Amino acid sequence: GQQVMQIPQYQHVQEGEDFTTYCNSSTTLSNIQWYKQRPGGHPVFLIQLVKSGEVKKQKRLTFQFGEAKKNSSLHITATQTTDVGTYFCAAGGSNYKLTFGKGTLLTVNP
């Protein structure tokens, strides 16, 4: 089945520093979604990427889908304490089910 690997597993930054998490697959992905899960919360949808080389921005967040559609990244500029949480990539497959990576836990030191 489909698998996505995410790195790093953990990232601790000082407030104001940038943060990037990477998602990789051995197979070509039809699409990829990103979710954020706050501590004690549930996953919340951030974005969906479908096209090869696609780049989407949401304020300080930039999402990229690789040209080969086998990798994706999420970059946060100038982190804030409100960015704390686990960021998951999820590969979209048949029946629209999602295969999630293990996530990157981001902690921010104020």
Partner 1 sequence: DTGVSQNPRHKITKRGQNVTFRCDPISEHNRLYWYRQTLGQGPEFLTYFQNEAQLEKSRLLSDRFSAERPKGSFSTLEIQRTEQGDSAMYLCASSRTTGGAWEQYFGPGTRLTVT
Instruction: Please report, as ranges, the residues that interact with partner 1 according to CB under 8 A.
Output: 33, 41-45, 48, 50, 88, 90, 92, 94-103
Nearer residue to partner 1 within complex by CB, 3 or 28: 3
Q: Which CB sits closer to partner 1, 42 or 110?
A: 42
Residue 78 CB, nearest approach to partner 1 (Å): 26
Give the nearer residue to partner 1 in terms of CB position, either 90 or 108: 90
Q: How far is the CB of 80 from partner 1 (least distance, A)?
A: 23
CB 11, min distance to partner 1, A: 14
A 10 A CB-CB count for 6 gives 20
What is d(CA 106, CA 103) in angstroms, rounded to the nearest whole number?
9
Residue 104 tokens, joined: 């990157």
Q: Strand runs (DSSP E) across the chain, as ranges? A: 5-7, 10-14, 19-24, 31-37, 44-49, 55-58, 61-65, 71-76, 85-92, 98-100, 104-109
